Copies of this chain bind each other. A is one copy, B any other.
Amino acid sequence: MKLGFSDMEEAFRRECASWLDEQMAGEFADIRGIANLVDKPERRKAWERRLAEHRYSCIGWPIAWGGRDATLNEQVIFAEEYARAGAPNRLNHMGVELLGPTLLALGSSEQKARFLPAIAEGTAIWCQGYSEPGAGSDLAAIRTRARRDGDEWVIEGQKIWTSLAQFADMIFVLARTEDGTRGREGLSFLLVDLDQPGIEIRPIRQINGEAEFNEVFFDGARCPVENMVGAEGEGWTVSTTLLSFERGISTLGQQMQFRNELDAVIAAAKHNGKAADPVFRQRLAEAEIGLRLMRYGALRMLAGGKGGALAGAALTYKIQWASWRRALGELAMDVLGQEGEVAPADAEGWPLLANLYLYSRADTIYGGTNQIQRNLIAERGLGLPREPRGNA
């Protein structure tokens, strides 16, 4: 077991850091530090392309597909340096981290050739069509349907909580392709162009006043039959594979954002004197400990995840960071007091910490509520008996 990195790895770190710093100080200074998914989409698309030009867009992918075949440690290093440099949240996270690895694992040669280059080059932005109204955390209750019409699938239905849909080019969709099926049966996994008449996107305004999520309506939307990943009816398996990539390297980058948030809370506490209050010191220490343990938990998860098995650490990670961040939001507001509740009357959006407070309420819900995560831990991790399902 080892915490430190090798000399070669440290050299790679310096190389990444220097390139990233140069970009963030220079041409892309205007998008430095953007943590949300809605600001300046066009500039961020340019940034995706710039990453690709320097072969930094998907370093963990094989060299043949535009990556660097980077080792785990190199990926860790890049993720850390990326976040440290204040580079903006990746607009093409879904393509690079989720769909790409899924296609590499399960896609046909044609699908790889058709879709991977545009992701690697930063020219196709992807989003995810899983959740539906009435099927929030219950993916098996999906009602969006696709029926075969010649060489195409024709899709009817509605997805919800689709972040990035308003900027994305493509969406991967879990849809029911077999009439009369229910639950996990009869689902298929389709790659769909968003730019077509059968698709309408409506933003959902959130608790913080912004609209990151969307509803996506499918009314006769079409995709060619060769856009199905995996066999017909195997959509559940494909989506499970895809979700298994969610706890990957990108968690480390996300943690650097958490670090910035905690640092902002610490700065506020130092500014208004709460940093000297023993009661707040205990809570600040807990936050610090929690963040550090998240880091080492993620490193364990990465080190142990090779076998593909859902290790304990991977099962527990979502609930860990979501709960931590929600608690940080509460701590931030407790530290700031009333001053945390206000902004200049003409301000657009909220300052970092007020926004953290509000937005973190969504963290424990999307991507599987904390309740669902606890069920998974208990049933898959501990082998406790399944909750009885109803009759629906």
B-binding residues in A (CB < 8 A): 277-279, 282, 388
Closest chain B residue to A277 by CB distance? B278
5 shortest interchain CB distances as A-B pairs = A278-B278, A388-B388, A278-B279, A279-B282, A279-B279
Cα A388 to Cα B278 with chains together (Å): 47
Contacts of A282 in B (CB 8 A): 279
Copies in the complex: 2
Contacts of A277 in B (CB 8 A): 278
Closest chain B residue to A385 by CB distance? B390
Cα A277 to Cα B279 with chains together (Å): 9
Closest chain B residue to A390 by CB distance? B388
Cα A52 to Cα B36 with chains together (Å): 74
Cα A388 to Cα B282 with chains together (Å): 42
Q: Min CB distance, A378 to chain B, in Å?
A: 15
Q: Min CB distance, A280 to chain B, in Å?
A: 10
Contacts of A388 in B (CB 8 A): 388
Cα A282 to Cα B282 with chains together (Å): 12
Contacts of A278 in B (CB 8 A): 277-279
Contacts of A279 in B (CB 8 A): 278-279, 282
Q: Min CB distance, A385 to chain B, in Å?
A: 10
Q: Min CB distance, A166 to chain B, in Å?
A: 38
6 sample A-B contacts, Cβ–Cβ < 8 Å, listed by A number: A277-B278, A278-B278, A278-B279, A279-B279, A279-B282, A388-B388
Cα A277 to Cα B278 with chains together (Å): 8
Cα A388 to Cα B385 with chains together (Å): 14
| Residue among A277, A278, A282 facing the most chain B CB atoms (10 A cut-off) | A278
Cα A266 to Cα B279 with chains together (Å): 19
Q: Min CB distance, A290 to chain B, in Å?
A: 18
Q: Min CB distance, A289 to chain B, in Å?
A: 16
Cα A278 to Cα B281 with chains together (Å): 11
Cα A388 to Cα B279 with chains together (Å): 44
Cα A388 to Cα B388 with chains together (Å): 8
Cα A279 to Cα B284 with chains together (Å): 13
Cα A342 to Cα B171 with chains together (Å): 65
Q: Min CB distance, A330 to chain B, in Å?
A: 16
Cα A203 to Cα B277 with chains together (Å): 50
Cα A277 to Cα B282 with chains together (Å): 12
| Residue among A277, A279, A388 facing the most chain B CB atoms (10 A cut-off) | A279
